[in-house]
Structure 1
Amino acid sequence: MGYSIQILTKRGTAVRLKNKVALVTGGGTGIGKAIALAFAREGAKVALTGRRMDKLGEVVNEIKKNGGKALAISADVSKIKDVDRMVTETVKKFKKLDILVNCAGVLFSADLAHHTEKLWDETIDINLKGSFLATQRAVPEMLKQGKGKVIHIASIAGQIGFPNSVAYCASKGGIMGMTKAMAMELAPKKINVNCIAPGDVATPLNEHLLVKPKYLKSRVDNTPYGRVGQVQDIAPGAVYLASDESDFTNGITLTIDGGLIIQ
């Protein structure tokens, strides 16, 4: 037994994802964007999906500007035809698929009495069903490589709950349960399935909340580290879970929240 020597760049930094191909849903903004950029820095070829090609294009251009390889794919993960197409286009372009990050998500704030069926369905369809569909379609490509990595992006909202966010909390809690079930099933096939649960992280998804001084102060005051998270706080955890270093890590929820839920 032993550990492989990491490939180094000319600058002497480790390239932990060299020769890997990653597909990142929701890769045009926020946490998905940060993960895509981090993967590219670590040597991966990255396919990004989302519903806004302008945002995806910006990320692809940034990756290419820094010498990486990337592809933008317009896709709605709640639609099976789009999911099939995004996997097909990724493999067509880069010849394989090693890593899947399910980061596409929505967040609607509404109290229980006004949380409509439409909001519920859209939240569950994108956050939970989308992660299921993407994984289901990506796994056959990973099996061709003899191994693979699946990373779901959940939230501490699935662990402790928040008011006015019943569908969001349900979807993220569902992702954590789904992670464990998939991990049990796919581990014998050398496919690792893990989950990241960010705490309060400043992204376009929750900016409508964090611009409220009272809300922001409450989140900062409740976080032992004394600040809300940034997307760059989440990306290193994804790099670890995507790399060969995490081969014996399976079925976990990696909470990155500045200590918020330990209180």
Structure 2
Amino acid sequence: MKLTGKIAIITGGGSGIGHAACVLFAREGATVIVADRDVAAAQRVASEIAGQGGRASAHQVDVSRDAEVAGMIAKAVADHGRLDILVNNAGYGIAGTVVTTAEADWNALMAVNVNGVFLGCKHAIPVMARQGGGAIVNTASAVANVGIHDRAAYVASKGAVAALTRAMAVDHVDQKIRINAVAPGTIESPYFTRILSGPDGAELRRGLEERQAMERLGQPVEIAQAMLWLASDDASFCTGTVMVVDGGWTARGDRKPKIER
């Protein structure tokens, strides 16, 4: 029970890694606010947690909108009196090079993947500072460290998350706020389920698995476990860290750069 008595917000909590993190954090004793743009998905996760004896509530939020993020943080404090943990997990990816990516698509992705982290921290940090500390975990990506084919906007956004994590960690260490990030590799998530559902799905899966040193895709709970460690007191000497959890993908010199369309 690493998070007993803690109040945690997890964005993008309605599916994939966020879902796994919400369930795991609740099992470890946290009261979890499942935040997602899809409120029905958030409610399903909150109900799942309640069914397991945990404490959770659903909150609808578009993390790209300042007023909605501010309202989410304010409601957590109003309901629970404090906010101990924020996991900025909401995000998505699009295909395209800088030539083929439309400006509107670039801006929309940056608004969620980068601005969402900025806004979450902007509103959570003052709360945590007043109460004497807290922990923030951002979701970056292994592609913050390497370039991949046909994902220019996504790679840029996750590189920004990694850099922002380090900058904020330095700025707020004196307020006893630890700010870290987890950098997942290729994870069995709804995003990849959609990609692999087409006629070439089996071939694409084989390609994705072959590029992993462990020759398999990661599972959402494996990323959630890393988030749990970073959010818990076990990581008390850890801030400004971007923890890569990618099955050895970026460690391989022979990885194939071209991936799914």
Category of TM-score, reference length = shorter chain? over 0.9
Answer whether contact 1:102 1:151 (CA < 8 A) is retained.
yes
Are 1:252 and 2:232 matched, yes or no? Answer: no
Q: Do the aligned partners of residues 210 and 253 (structure 1) sit closer, same or farther apart at CA in structure 2, a change above 3 Å counting?
A: farther
Give structure 2 stretches of 5+ with no counterpart.
253-261
Post-superposition offset of 1:180 = 0.6
Secondary structure, in 3 states, of the residue corresponding to 2:111? helix
Q: Please give the alpha-carbon distance, in whole angstroms, between the structure 2 residues aligned to 1:104 and 1:69.
A: 21
1:80-229 equivalent positions in 2, closer than 5 A: 80-211=66-197, 212-229=201-218
The residue type equivalent to 1:236 in the other structure is Q
Q: Name the counterpart of 1:35.
A: 21
Q: Distance in 1 between matches of 2:144 and 2:203?
A: 23
How much does 1:107 deviate? 1.0
Gaps of at least 5 residues in structure 1 are 1-14
Q: Could you say which residue in structure 1 is the equivalent of 2:36?
A: 50
**Structure-2 separation of matches of 1:172 and 1:255:** 12
Give TM-score scaled by structure 1 length: 0.92
In structure 2, C-alpha distance between the alignment counterparts of 1:158 and 1:214, rounded to whole Å: 26
Write the distance in 1 (CA, Å) between the matches of 2:215 and 2:96.
27
d(CA) in 2 for partners of 1:159, 1:209: 23
| 8 Å CA contact 1:100, 1:149 repeated in 2 | yes
Indicate the residue corresponding to 1:235 in structure 2. Answer: 224
Q: CA deviation at 1:214?
A: 2.5
- SS at 2:20 equivalent: helix
Structure 1 letter corresponding to 2:249: L
CA contact 2:138–2:181 (8 Å) conserved in 1: yes
Give the number of equivalent residue pairs. 249
Q: CA deviation at 1:70?
A: 1.0
**Rounded Cα–Cα distance in structure 1 between residues aligned with 2:35 and 2:135:** 17
Residue range with higher mean Cα deviation, 37-46 or 112-121: 112-121
* Distance in 1, Cα, partners of 2:104 & 2:61: 20
Query: Does 2:51 match 1:65?
Result: yes
Equivalent AA in structure 1 for residue 244 of structure 2: T
Contact 1:209 1:216 in 2 (8 A): no
Q: Which runs of 4+ in 1 moved over 3 A?
A: none
Checking the alignment, whether the CA contact within 8 Å between 1:22 and 1:100 is kept in structure 2 is yes
Kept after mapping to 1: 8 A contact 2:98/2:153: no
State the shift of 1:114 in Å.
Answer: 2.3
TM superposition shift of 1:248? 0.5
State the SS of the aligned residue for 2:190. coil
Post-superposition offset of 1:213: 2.3
How far, CA to CA, are the matches of 1:112 and 1:143 in structure 2? Answer: 39
Partners in 1 of 2:20 and 2:86 — Cα distance? 15
Alignment partner of 1:19: what SS? coil
One-letter amino acid of the structure 2 residue matched with residue 49 of structure 1: A
Give the Å deviation of 1:113: 3.0
Q: SS of the counterpart of 2:186?
A: coil
What is the aligned-residue identity percentage? 35
TM-score with structure 2 setting the length: 0.93
